[in-house]
Structure 1
Amino acid sequence: MDRFTLEETGLVAAMGSGLLAFGTIWYSFVNRHVPNPYLDEVFHIPQAQTYCRDRFFEWDDKITTPPGLYIISRVSAAVKSRLFWTPVEKQCDAGGLRLDNLIAAVLIFPLAVITRHQIERCLTPRRSEQSLNTVSRYAFQTGFNIALFPVLFFYSGLYYTDVFSTLTVLLAYSHHLSRVSRDRSSLISDAWTILLGIAALFMRQTNIFWVVVYMGGLEAVHAVKTLRPKPAEQPPMHTVSEHVRFYIERFSVGDIHDPPIDRAWPHDLCYSIVGIGLAAIYKPVRILKQVWPHITVMCLFTAFVAWNGGVVLGDKSNHIATIHLTQMLYIWPLFAFFSAPLFIPTLLGRTLRLLSCVKRSKLSSVDKSNRNASSGHTGSSKGSHDGDTAGPVSLTSKDHISSSMDSPYLQAARIVVSPRAYSAPLVLLAILASWLIVVQNTIIHPFTLADNRHYMFYIFRYTIRRPGHFREYLVGVYLFCGWLCWSALSPLEMASSRDNKDRRVNSALNPASSSTVVLLFLATALSLVTAPLVEPRYFILPWVFWRLLVPAWYPEQDDRHHGGGGVASLPGLAGLIEWGRRFDLRLVLETLWFVAINLVTMYIFIHRPYVWRNQEGEVLDGGRLQRFMW
């Protein structure tokens, strides 16, 4: 694992102290106003106290998650009892147990910084590796904001599993990134992979999708890329079958197509998936040598499911796995709401470029009419179109030029894989598929309707459960938010050669590879579509992994990339642009946005309690105060 320099350690300490102070205020307010277990703490805290009494075989059947959190609390209580000369049971009251989550939330910050730094190193050519010994400012900002993520930070003051689950998965991810930074992994590294995978599963069963599908898949891709076959010249090919044979041969030896996401069109993603699959089929031994620890974790998890009679511990009746495809639509508005500052440059830049294009079009039409009137010129000139050159058709570095000798089927195939040809049908297909999912697969769990203490109750009440076709109208919102989240992963689409030079200097600008994004989407889908209940907590890890992959953005580069039509072209931004050379302005806004959301939700939780009443106005639940939360 990477280590901080002395200067970086000081910066981590300063930022971590601020985070700790903010978390301590929240923790103290919760303990002062809500000293007794609240909501799910009613199950978690007594179970942890049972473990503190060393009764490890007593289990509350209402609890569905593994005992990892309670084991950590037992160890923590033993350490704190020796430090403060107090009984173990004293450290296992509500305040003592909640303190463990606060500490874990603060630890997420430096771990997220290291993880983002490791990602930047993996995405940068080896010749630039020496310049990556210093952690980027962007990594510090990203790690700090991940720790401040409102849904995650809120539970730093309560005793829930989410904070420690995130911490253990990030530990496993950091270890994974250290493995893929070299060609071969040692047996010790393999053993750590298994141990960290088991630790993640001891927190939440759904972490199997992150430690096996996502990280295991990334290691399989890494194993394929380490094959490094000799480059081969593309021979003249004029039929579809010749192309298929050539690429199967190249894919089978590990010469896969895996471009950065900013250079990838949908057909590139398909090529990437097919290429990796074929390489794995033809080179299984190399793949197995890399991923056997993940297979071991998967086998252990399968054995647990067989022994337990299901994935869920305890109460299985209310947590039956189902196919809930609308989860993959709900996720995008949630990301868009919390990460709204990240999308400001995209929205402003697109708007400015649209206005610029309209203006140029009007000027061009006027100029053309004037020239035609004066010279009678009626000819036309041929030029290159951005849309034609944006997406590569050939999988090699040499563009394949259509020939009159090409078969009709090959010519048709070239048209089919042209982004200009399939973009509109693909959008229509996405709209139709999303609409069908909303109509046929909207699932509303009884818990969502029965508990008005969660914000999701009101979101469903005023959107999904509104009468008429309102939920169908939300399809446009889902797709627009999904496009925003995709655009954040590649803020500089189809990067130019000059942009690539900038990326070698500033590694934070490098986008993720196509295979990484595909695996992220797959792991996210598997972790969400099997859950009938919609809870913001379920979106924490998908958001964290997505957020770690979002590259940096700077106004000057955006302006240069778009020919002076970017955000930097706005008047009065000279001072911000100068400051933006040092910091990603989006992340500054994101920090302020997260702090604002946290303050609002904290205030509502602490100072806006209420009591349940029936229709006759009688007080229910013994008059206990209820509080709003995620």
Structure 2
Amino acid sequence: MTSGEEKPKENVEELLEQDIQREVETGFLANLIGWPVLSMVLGFSFYKLTTEIVPYQFIDEIFHVDQTVRYISGRWTEWNPKITTPPGLYILGWFNYKIMHFFTSWSTLTILRMVNLLGGVVVWPWVVLRPLFLFNAIGFWPITLMSFPLMAAYYYLYYTDVWSTILIVESLTLALTLPFGETASIWLSALCGLVSCTFRQTNIIWNIFIMVLVVERRALIHKDFNNVNFNNYLKFTIHAIENFHTLILPYALNMVAFALFLLFNRSITLGDKDNHVVGLHGVQFFYCLTFMAVFSAPIWVSRLFLKSYLTRNLGKPLRFIFELLGIILVIRYFTVIHPFLLADNRHFTFYLLKKIITRNFCFKYLLMPAVYHFATFTYIEVVRPRVMHFHPILPIEIKSAVDLPIQLTHISWTVLILCTFMTVVPSPLFEPRYYILPFIFWRLFVSASPEAYISKEVPTRFSCTKRLTFELIWFIIINAFTLFIFIKYPFVWTTEQYLQRITW
């Protein structure tokens, strides 16, 4: 073989390192430039919306603002019986008001809404996402997740979802990056997980997921995971038992506290229990996966991906038919249409349900099962390439959990699916904001499909920048559309004093 033929092989590793370095540098530059621009746009639109478009309490803000005002007035023992979530947001709102009302003449409502704007624009990208980005700079961009439509819509309103997400994902960040050393970081992670439950009770489920990650990332090193999945489950269990006090106990205390809350409250919701009864809303899982597939489209859409879906189903058509029949049975027997949804045309889900999902028999039982099937395939297959694989004999070379890549194993992948199911299925309401955490936890562990391109030196060079850029643009387009509908299409409710609008 001539030296000219050998050169490409010799340069493969060097060129790939250059690709990765270029991707990282591009990601840092995009975030440094994009963050101030997006922050100014969000800040300006927030000011216009909260002072001119909706300078009044909107939908559930009526309950949240009322409770916070009671705290501001010193009435700490009073509780609005219509509120379903714990008082985390109201305490934070009280704290923010006590500081800001000395410096501004803005209304109480605007000051309270600022809690979510500051959280989403400052704390979320810089405190929570930045450390994860430093560990996985070609996996996602913080400014993109800052712009995630289901979350960004609530930067303008006084809802629980923004800080619920910030705190539970910060729990994940601390558990993976260990900025204060292993012991302190794990306990702080558990503390953030506990505090997040005071904003939304279902975050206890994500405490379980984070605990599994904490155990798993140490068990795979100390017990040497291999390619036999059952053995890895045994090793995981043994390691959890052996290290109960350092790895399990911090999160177990959260679960004990939550169990005591359930015993005392006799329900997962605090108020309005008749309209928030836990059930088995199976089709909600497919709603969630469909939203996730749509929002994540820029990171997976390709001719090869669509071809793999067709190949899978055409290769085994009988399996495909049985899977569709299973989805149809879930639609038939585990669909819950809450009276609130049918009566409230201020949410996109009202129109999705009436115009598409349950429009007629063909839409409900022929079109939507196919959509749900593809969404499920997407949810699983986008993760698959990023799942860790282990050698049947050789030990793990990495010796510290903090040095492991931000990836799942077959154990945490399974738990992620179960946690997503447990988060959304019990809820009778078709609420896209319940899909924020399933999407975020999924997105942090997947990567955009790399775009391979032909090079004279080597044909295996790649770039993810284009897909990550399209993902950001995609979110911005959805946010712009959402704001346009919200601002331009108000309507009257005879039972309400002010104009009503459409949001998530």
Give the structure-1-normalised TM-score.
0.67
Match runs of 1:576-587 below 5 Å: 581=463, 584-587=465-468
Question: What is aligned with 2:231?
Answer: 275
Give the 3 Å change call, closer, same or farther, for CA 623–37 of structure 1 in structure 2. closer
Letter in 2 for 1:477: V
Letter in 2 for 1:531: S
Question: What is aligned with 1:531?
Answer: 427
Q: Tell me which of 572, 591, 607 is aligned to 2:472.
A: 591
CA distance in 1, matches of 2:186, 2:364: 47
- Matched position secondary structure for 2:444: helix
- Matched position secondary structure for 2:48: helix
CA contact (8 A) 1:118 1:178 kept: no
CA distance in 2, matches of 1:94, 1:595: 26
CA contact (8 A) 1:331 1:539 kept: yes
Question: What is aligned with 1:26?
Answer: 45
Question: What is aligned with 2:483?
Answer: 602
Letter in 2 for 1:162: D
CA contact (8 A) 1:453 1:626 kept: yes
CA contact (8 A) 1:115 1:173 kept: no
Give the 3 Å change call, closer, same or farther, for CA 312–605 of structure 1 in structure 2. same
Q: Tell me which of 325, 350, 353 is aligned to 1:457.
A: 350
Match runs of 1:241-260 below 5 Å: 255-257=225-227
CA contact (8 A) 2:164 2:199 kept: yes
Letter in 2 for 1:550: V
Give the 3 Å change call, closer, same or farther, for CA 61–91 of structure 1 in structure 2. farther
Letter in 2 for 1:479: H
Unaligned runs of 5+ in 1: 121-135, 230-254, 258-270, 358-386, 388-418, 496-503, 569-576, 613-619
- Matched position secondary structure for 1:556: strand
Letter in 2 for 1:349: L
CA contact (8 A) 1:101 1:156 kept: yes
Give the 3 Å change call, closer, same or farther, for CA 6–426 of structure 1 in structure 2. closer
Question: What is aligned with 2:190?
Answer: 194
Q: CA deviation at 1:307?
A: 1.1
Give the structure-2-normalised TM-score.
0.82
Q: Tell me which of 181, 185, 207 is aligned to 2:182.
A: 185
Give the 3 Å change call, closer, same or farther, for CA 353–609 of structure 1 in structure 2. closer
Letter in 1 for 2:354: R
Q: CA deviation at 1:25?
A: 2.1
Question: What is aligned with 2:439?
Answer: 543
Question: What is aligned with 2:36?
Answer: 17
Q: Tell me which of 105, 110, 114 is aligned to 1:99.
A: 114
Question: What is aligned with 2:324?
Answer: 431
Question: What is aligned with 1:341?
Answer: 298
Question: What is aligned with 1:326?
Answer: 283
Match runs of 1:212-611 below 5 Å: 213-228=208-223, 255-257=225-227, 272=229, 274-289=230-245, 290-345=247-302, 348-350=303-305, 427-473=320-366, 474-490=368-384, 512-556=408-452, 581=463, 584-611=465-492
CA distance in 2, matches of 1:349, 1:622: 51
Larger Rg: 1
Q: Are 2:500 and 1:626 aligned? A: yes
What are the superposed Cα offsets for residues 414-465 of structure 1, whole Å, 9 maximum, x if unpaired? xxxxx999x6665444323212111111111111111011110111112332
CA contact (8 A) 1:91 1:97 kept: no
Q: CA deviation at 1:508?
A: 12
CA distance in 2, matches of 1:517, 1:452: 37
Unaligned runs of 5+ in 2: 1-23, 390-397
CA distance in 2, matches of 1:159, 1:539: 18
CA distance in 2, matches of 1:448, 1:514: 37
CA distance in 1, matches of 2:30, 2:164: 26
- Which segment is superposed worse, 21-30 or 64-73? 21-30
CA distance in 2, matches of 1:104, 1:424: 48
CA contact (8 A) 2:164 2:196 kept: yes
Letter in 2 for 1:99: M
CA contact (8 A) 1:321 1:531 kept: yes
- Matched position secondary structure for 1:549: coil
CA distance in 2, matches of 1:431, 1:9: 43
CA distance in 1, matches of 2:196, 2:48: 30
CA distance in 2, matches of 1:596, 1:10: 21
CA distance in 1, matches of 2:314, 2:57: 58
CA contact (8 A) 1:41 1:159 kept: yes
What are the superposed Cα offsets for residues 91-138 of structure 1, whole Å, 9 maximum, x if unpaired? 771111111111111121224543533653xxxxxxxxxxxxxxx3x3
CA distance in 1, matches of 2:433, 2:307: 36
CA distance in 1, matches of 2:249, 2:59: 40
Letter in 2 for 1:343: W
Match runs of 1:44-123 below 5 Å: 44-81=64-101, 84=103, 93-106=108-121, 107-111=123-127, 113-117=129-133, 120=136
Q: CA RMSD in A?
A: 3.6
CA distance in 2, matches of 1:221, 1:228: 10
Q: Tell me which of 186, 207, 211 is aligned to 2:203.
A: 207
What are the superposed Cα offsets for residues 466-525 of structure 1, whole Å, 9 maximum, x if unpaired? 232431211111111221233322469999xxxxxxxx9xx9998643223212111101
Question: What is aligned with 1:234?
Answer: none
CA distance in 2, matches of 1:189, 1:45: 34
CA distance in 2, matches of 1:493, 1:299: 31
- Which segment is superposed worse, 585-594 or 6-15? 6-15
Letter in 2 for 1:592: I
Give the 3 Å change call, closer, same or farther, for CA 596–192 of structure 1 in structure 2. same
CA distance in 2, matches of 1:284, 1:608: 54
CA distance in 2, matches of 1:448, 1:58: 29
Letter in 2 for 1:26: S
Aligned pair count? 464
Q: CA deviation at 1:343?
A: 2.3
CA contact (8 A) 1:101 1:157 kept: yes
Question: What is aligned with 2:393?
Answer: none
Question: What is aligned with 1:391?
Answer: none
What are the superposed Cα offsets for residues 213-266 of structure 1, whole Å, 9 maximum, x if unpaired? 21112223234224335xxxxxxxxxxxxxxxxxxxxxxxxx454xxxxxxxxx
CA distance in 1, matches of 2:420, 2:135: 19
Give the 3 Å change call, closer, same or farther, for CA 113–590 of structure 1 in structure 2. same
Give the 3 Å change call, closer, same or farther, for CA 147–622 of structure 1 in structure 2. closer
Letter in 1 for 2:112: L
What are the superposed Cα offsets for residues 26-67 of structure 1, whole Å, 9 maximum, x if unpaired? 211211111111111111112112222232221101010111
Question: What is aligned with 2:165?
Answer: 166
CA contact (8 A) 1:63 1:314 kept: yes
Give the 3 Å change call, closer, same or farther, for CA 426–208 of structure 1 in structure 2. farther
CA contact (8 A) 2:300 2:449 kept: no
CA distance in 1, matches of 2:236, 2:296: 36
- Matched position secondary structure for 1:155: helix
Question: What is aligned with 1:124?
Answer: none
CA distance in 2, matches of 1:306, 1:494: 39
- Matched position secondary structure for 2:234: helix
CA contact (8 A) 2:171 2:190 kept: no
